[in-house]
Amino acid sequence: MNSELISIHGKTATITEALETRHSIREYLPQPIPETTLKTIFEKALRTPSWKNSQPWKVHIVSGEKKDLLARNLTKAARESTPQPETNWPESYPSDAKKRMFDLGMKIYGVAGIDRKDKEARDQFMLRNFAFFGAPTAVFITSKFDLNFFVGIDLGCFVQSVLLLAREEGLGTCPQAALGAFPDVVRASLELPKEEKVIMGLSIGYPKPDSDLNRFHTPRESAEDLLRFY
């Protein structure tokens, strides 16, 4: 499918359409999401499979003033301190992945009109993560489980369910590891017990139309390189 022709607006009819038209949205309209729509998405996502049906997730859906306060507190923490994630953020990657990550940064900065050498501009752009890119609703995925590999897979499956269901409802999303960078800020705001770890989050809302950032699409490696049929 020609990515230029992919619409980011309106509902989708099939999973294929949701999968093909979903991509990370990093500019939103302030328009709130109806509560019934949020309930539909997150209640359906609870059907996600997990290791022995263990269901390691808790999901916190935050809108309105509480979301605005969290945005301010997270942005302040990101300005003043270094990330303290409770998950193991990867430290090294295979060289081909490094290239893809470098290309992603180059392209996003290019679309956002940021000179790669301008650290101040890059930092400001990064901070937009913590204001949920202007989305009306922020979501935090937490877990009381020991964070082993399969819990990570279960939580990843859950996040993908949400991304596709949101797309089906005509909403945009951005999954964000960044939202797990300052767990104490989230824990204090949502009054979570200490044993509930903040894994990651996502922004969800109506994509801002005519946004270069929202039109930006990441490529994928080819099926020939990644798939083997026996």
Ligand X SMILES: Cc1cc2nc3c(=O)[nH]c(=O)nc-3n(C[C@H](O)[C@H](O)[C@H](O)COP(=O)(O)O)c2cc1C
By CB under 6 A, name the one of 46, 102, 218, 221 that touches ligand X: 218
Determine, following the binding rule CB under 6 A, whether residue 203 of this chain makes contact with ligand X: no
Determine, following the binding rule CB under 6 A, whether residue 63 of this chain makes contact with ligand X: no
Least distance in angstroms from the C-beta of 54 to ligand X: 20
Which residues, 172 to 201, sit near ligand X by CB under 6 A? 174-178, 200
Q: Is the Cβ of residue 23 or residue 60 nearer to ligand X in the bound state?
A: 23
179: DSSP letter: G
Distance, first Cα to last Cα, the chain? 26
Which residues, 2 to 41, sit near ligand X by CB under 6 A? 23-24, 26
Which residues, 140 to 159, sit near ligand X by CB under 6 A? none
Is residue 200 helix, strand or coil?
strand
Q: What is the spatial distance between Cα 189 and Cα 198, in angstroms, rounded to a whole number?
A: 12
Both tokens assigned to 48: 């996600």
Determine, following the binding rule CB under 6 A, whether residue 214 of this chain makes contact with ligand X: no
Both tokens assigned to 62: 């935050």
Q: What is the spatial distance between Cα 41 and Cα 158, in angstroms, rounded to a whole number?
A: 11
Least distance in angstroms from the C-beta of 174 to ligand X: 5
Which residues, 104 to 123, sit near ligand X by CB under 6 A? 104
Q: Would you list the DSSP string of 84-144? A: --SS-------HHHHHHHHHHHHHHHHHTT--TT-HHHHHHHHHGGGGGGG-SEEEEEEE-
How many residues interact with ligand X (rule CB under 6 A)? 12
Q: Is the Cβ of residue 1 or residue 194 nearer to ligand X in the bound state?
A: 1
Contacting residues toward ligand X, per CB under 6 A = 23-24, 26, 104, 129, 174-178, 200, 218
